[in-house]
Amino acid sequence: MFGNFFKPKNLDRERVPPGQVLTEKFPVLTYGPTPSVRPEEVKLEIKGQVEAAKTLGWQDLLALPQSDLTADFHCVTRWSKLDVKWCGIRVPDLMQQVRLRPEAQAVLVHCYGGYTTNLSLEDFLRAENILAHTLFGQPLPREHGGPLRLVVPHLYAWKSAKWVRGFEFLDKEELGFWEVNGYHRRGDPWKEERFSD
Ligand X SMILES: Nc1nc2c(c(=O)[nH]1)N[C@H]1C(S)=C(S)[C@@H](COP(=O)(O)O)O[C@H]1N2
Q: State yes or no: residue 121 binds Mo ion (CB under 5 A).
A: no
How many whole angstroms separate alpha carbon 182 and alpha carbon 154? 20
The only residue of 86, 115, 167, 169 in contact with ligand X, by rule CB under 6 A: 115
Residue number with CB closer to ligand X (17 or 100): 17
In the complex, the smallest distance separating the C-beta of residue 105 from Mo ion, rounded to whole angstroms, is 25
Contact in structure between 135 and 75 (CB atoms under 8 Å): no
Q: State yes or no: residue 75 binds ligand X (CB under 6 A).
A: yes
The only residue of 61, 107, 108, 157 in contact with ligand X, by rule CB under 6 A: 157
The interface partner of residue 163, options being Mo ion, ligand X, none and the CB cut-off 5 to 8 Å by kind, is: ligand X
- 160 closest CA partner among 57, 86, 50, 106: 86
The only residue of 20, 80, 118, 160 in contact with ligand X, by rule CB under 6 A: 160
Contact in structure between 73 and 23 (CB atoms under 8 Å): no
3-class DSSP state for residue 6? helix
Q: State yes or no: residue 28 binds Mo ion (CB under 5 A).
A: no
The only residue of 11, 15, 27, 29 in contact with Mo ion, by rule CB under 5 A: 29
- 177 closest CA partner among 159, 150, 189, 155: 159
In the complex, the smallest distance separating the C-beta of residue 22 from ligand X, rounded to whole angstroms, is 14
Q: State yes or no: residue 158 binds Mo ion (CB under 5 A).
A: yes
How many whole angstroms separate alpha carbon 34 and alpha carbon 162? 10
CA-CA distances (angstroms) from residue 151 to 68, 86, 161?
12, 9, 7
CB-based closest residue to Mo ion:
75
Q: State yes or no: residue 161 binds ligand X (CB under 6 A).
A: yes
Alpha helical stretches, state H, the chain = 2-14, 58-62, 91-94, 121-124, 177-180
- List residues binding ligand X (CB under 6 A): 26-31, 75, 111, 113, 115, 144-145, 157-158, 160-163
- List residues binding Mo ion (CB under 5 A): 29, 75-76, 157-158
